[in-house]
Chains A and B, each alone.
Chain A
């Protein structure tokens, strides 16, 4: 008994020590960094690029003419909303007549100055220099960007003010001039949206005809109330380039209300746009369309707008939310294709669900999938009900339904070209259901369109086109067409607008491609291209003396800021969709590869001629 008591007495401190140790261990767990725990998502906050701002300074006292010119040029690169500081370098007369918004000349480097004076004439009261540089592009008064070539030479004349004896510029260059990097720093490309004038996409529901929204890229100054600039530009109307084939829902003469404050979205991401009296009596549908135009446009500028409210003269016209906008108009970038199509090893048309990670293609139903005729290239209509295929030899074009049991029928078109490279190009469907294809036969090179993908082809008039069309892709909006044209051994990418005109007495409209302009003047050989956004294409090409690379290009010829896709060699064909979330797909090194966003290229399967619908 005594022993027991002694034992328990000894055990009690042991237990106490055990508890203490457990407590210390527990506490120590709190006091050290965790090495396990529950899972949690990470919200990435992408770092905005370091925006460098230039703060213009007014001219100094007794500055030399050279300093005046330099100060003026520097002020042009600043963020003054109306170039007030730059105007201080001008004489009063010149400041009144100088129109900086008239145009912007983009040079390869900073503008150089060449003095026109052989000797030093410090005492003289006038001084002139010439601004020089290699011009890269021009932004016109409509803020539309256009690539340009050639050298830039503009005279600048300075004079000494009679009273204050200060040098000032009395003959400034019209517009603004700056180097390319300054331009990219100060300007921002934004898509304005209008509606295609005469193309109406088939709607799946068929209840109403939703107009197709057409992107119209413009450049606005990045840090000078860009939202108001964009809205003003949108309301003013489309740029000259696509003006004839689009319409704006804003009634003629509409403008932002007088004295409207800078537009900013409120806490609920709603932007209120006050318009002048001209917009006061629009109908509800028109107003919805106006709002949709605004909403699409603003969303391409910033994601911070979910709703647009239109007001005129103090009354609320209508408001449109993000969700409803898609019911008002269609946008190419908002339509997600179901499948990715390509030709398998036996020449049959197969498909894989778009955006999936799958690698096992299924043959499409219908004759093209059954492999009766070996195919070389294909195109699937945007509603994914029909497909067009060109035979493996490039000689014949077939159009078949993607329904089981349909028959192939006779070829719609045959080419008489001698070699495979001289026969038919891959076809392309537009949003109306018309099928576009070009025949590369050197003797009879032509661009054809099959209305509704059937019947007799109509030849497309291409005034000003010089060279053979090597590839055709029609944009989802049906207004723009991209062509790869070969001329003198150079293959360049041209973009033009499609005009349809139905003349009296003719059943089918005459289709014309106008305003063909090179979008990639710096590329010497463009191998493949595909639409990759409302106003953007992905292009595979090679610069002079360079290697093949993949890049994006805007329809106006500028280079978008979006990241360049990972490099890939030996790309022969490429496919993308307007929906940027779907991966790029290319045919390279005898295999289909795809590029899911944020990853590296990965092989899908064997096959050729990958295409998304369109």
Chain B
């Protein structure tokens, strides 16, 4: 089971990196947003529309995020909105009531005043008529009677309006509209009579003798602005008995002032209420939200590993109970985790101790075996054969022990990086020349590409060499006699070395699992040959120690590629690799090349392709088949800047506990790549790599030194 989990993480990294990781950290928010549906539809449109949408959305994003994340904001905003609604509703109701009340009072007062005015006008007309007839009784009616009306009416309007003291204005209009008979309009107080009296009211007054009223706007002939008014009119007779229309116009200025006072008061009060309610809601919610936020923060810290964090608990309310329960939970968690950690530490120490303890007897056994081996010629064939077997398996045993020690040092975090500026070309040359005998035996040619320019990086030459030797030897062993291509490249802040073979390749899913400890492609095959099964694990740990990546790509029958990417300077984080993880001559790429001429661009050895290869690489991994002859591995590369490549890193590798039983196989290099059957040749390959393993014992464990003093990883480094 460890194997599975381990496999998932590291091995996958390379090719898989494109796929599963991609949506992870960076893309996820977008996708969530899009899937949220809110903006989903708009994105489908033209690019212009999409750009516009993005432009519109961008400033809103922080707000939306705040809205999603802040319950306090939600509560306060909701309270504000609802109280605003309530205040508005109340305001409308109150203003409506006040308005009706004001108008009722005004209308009643105006009606009584206007009625009195109409009566006064009638009385004056009667008086004038009686004096006229009295004075001029003898004169003919048609010649004499109408004459006084001109001045009489002006005087009437003046006297009627002077009683109002500005509370109203008086207007007279002829009956029958502007073309009707009668005297011209008269108006007091600069009122424009025809514009101020509504036409409908005039017609109504024309038609009946009853008084009628209407609302209107008084228009003044001076600069004064118009104002709303109540107009009451009636048809009255002048001294000659001819009808005219008399109107009282009551400006509603005071009422409007009162109403605006009420409006202002309500608006002010409403504003205060809304603001205060918002503030109250804020305060109240804060009481609840503060402990919740504290709990969230502490939970985050707990999950970050600071298990000793606890909530502060005061009082006995619900929040306090939550805090207590939370603390209890944290305490139990801490206990369990400590227990588990203790357990795992014990296990690791046990492995380390066992390795150490085995070394001493093994040395003795070795010496004895050497004696026996040297004397085998004297034995009968069967015994001689047994002696040889004994010597071989002892070699394997030693290698396995050394690897185990190295791994346990990594697990203990005791591995130290001795970084120095080195030229990777030299390392590659050394490795290639070291693998040359094995390659000749296999009939394989090792081709180095990209070594025209120096490829300099700050790295630990020994570890890099170990990694590369592992990769190259693996490639040669599984390359089925095909060429093995080693490619170097540097770009941006990274350097990379990819090893490509054309052997059996990897089955889907194996690209991640190859880095698992003691993993083998064919479980049925005994681990009597080949490497120890720890080589790639150690290589991965070495890469991780540099802050670099080690990733694998492969396809069934199409070979595989392993890519080591290192930062140019030790501390720099990697953002991409100069070489695509999936080689350009992968099956997929070739297929695409044939269909689509454009995509053909990168030839096999060329430098990184753009983003596209990364994607395809992921797909390719899926199709990679397992076993068979191992084609030469090449490191495929995500594009230089492709962040999707990142997740494949050693980060996940770390978590992996040491794998199961060690295997008596030779080199790291071979066993890591694959659990292929290791023919005899592999053994020799192993030997070729010995120097590598030789290092390992030094660094990882002090078996050679034979010092037993330290079980701990820290000492491992010291032993060196």
Q: Which residues of A contact B (CB under 8 A)?
A: 47, 49-57, 60-61, 66-67, 70-71, 73-75, 77-78, 109-115, 129, 178-179, 181-182, 185
Contacts and interface: CB of A to CB of B under 8 A. Distances in A.
Interface in B187-219: 187-190, 193-194
B136 to A, nearest CB: 8
B364 interface: no
Contact of B148 (A51, A53, A110): A110
B151 A57 contact: no
**Which 5 pairs across A and B sit closest by C-beta, in order of nearness?**
A110-B151, A50-B161, A115-B143, A55-B185, A179-B151
A176 B59 CA distance: 77
Contact of A50 (B150, B151, B185, B188): B188
Contacts of A111: 147
A49 B184 contact: no
Given A51-B188, A77-B150, 14 more contacts: A50-B169, A50-B189, A52-B154, A57-B178, A60-B179, A71-B184, A109-B148, A110-B150, A112-B148, A114-B144, A129-B143, A179-B150, A182-B151, A185-B154
B147 A53 contact: no
B140 interface: yes
Contacts of A53: 186-188, 190, 221
Contacts of B188: 50-53
B264 interface: no
A74 B187 CA distance: 14
B154 A113 contact: no
A114 B174 CA distance: 24
B660 interface: no
Contacts of A66: 142-143, 146
Nearest to B164: A50
B155 interface: yes
B144 A113 contact: yes
A110 B153 CA distance: 11
B150 A113 contact: no
A179 B152 CA distance: 10
Contact of B143 (A54, A61, A113): A113
B157 A52 contact: yes
Contacts of A73: 147, 150
A70 B143 CA distance: 11
B162 interface: yes
B113 to A, nearest CB: 15
A567 B183 CA distance: 40
B158 interface: yes
Interface in B120-163: 139-140, 142-144, 146-152, 154-155, 157-158, 161-162
A113 to B, nearest CB: 5
Contacts of B181: 60, 67
A178 B152 CA distance: 12
B244 to A, nearest CB: 12
B147 A112 contact: yes
A70 B190 contact: no
A134 to B, nearest CB: 13
Contact of B165 (A47, A56, A110, A178): A47
Contacts of B158: 50, 52, 181, 185
B166 interface: yes
Nearest to B194: A55
Contacts of A114: 139, 143-144
Contacts of B161: 50, 52
A74 B154 CA distance: 10
Nearest to A53: B187
Contacts of A49: 162
Contacts of A110: 147-152
Contact of B150 (A51, A74, A115, A129): A74
Given A50-B189, A51-B190, A110-B151, A75 B144 contact: no
B144 A55 contact: no
A49 B188 CA distance: 9
For A50, A60, A61, A115, which residue has the most chain B Cβ atoms within 10 angstroms?
A50
A66 B142 CA distance: 8
A50 B143 CA distance: 32
A182 B155 CA distance: 8
A75 B184 contact: yes
Contact of B154 (A54, A57, A61, A112): A54
Nearest to A107: B151
Nearest to A110: B151
Contacts of B193: 55
B140 A115 contact: yes
Given A47-B165, A66-B146, A57 B189 contact: no
Nearest to A115: B143
Contact of B151 (A51, A56, A77, A113): A77
Nearest to B182: A57
A527 to B, nearest CB: 32
A52 B170 CA distance: 9
Nearest to B161: A50
A129 B142 CA distance: 12
25 contacts: A47-B165, A49-B162, A50-B158, A51-B188, A51-B189, A53-B188, A54-B154, A54-B184, A55-B193, A56-B184, A57-B174, A60-B181, A75-B184, A77-B151, A110-B148, A110-B149, A110-B150, A113-B147, A114-B139, A114-B144, A115-B140, A115-B142, A129-B143, A178-B151, A181-B154
Given A52-B157, A112-B144, A113-B144, A57 B185 contact: yes
A52 B186 contact: yes
B388 to A, nearest CB: 102
A185 B143 CA distance: 26
A114 to B, nearest CB: 6
A178 B193 CA distance: 23
A52 B163 CA distance: 13
A129 B147 CA distance: 12
Interface in B212-253: 221
Nearest to B173: A55
Given A50-B158, A55-B193, A115-B143, A181 B185 contact: no
A49 B164 CA distance: 11
For A71, A73, A74, A178, which residue has the most chain B Cβ atoms within 10 angstroms?
A74
Given A60-B179, A181-B151, A74 B184 contact: yes
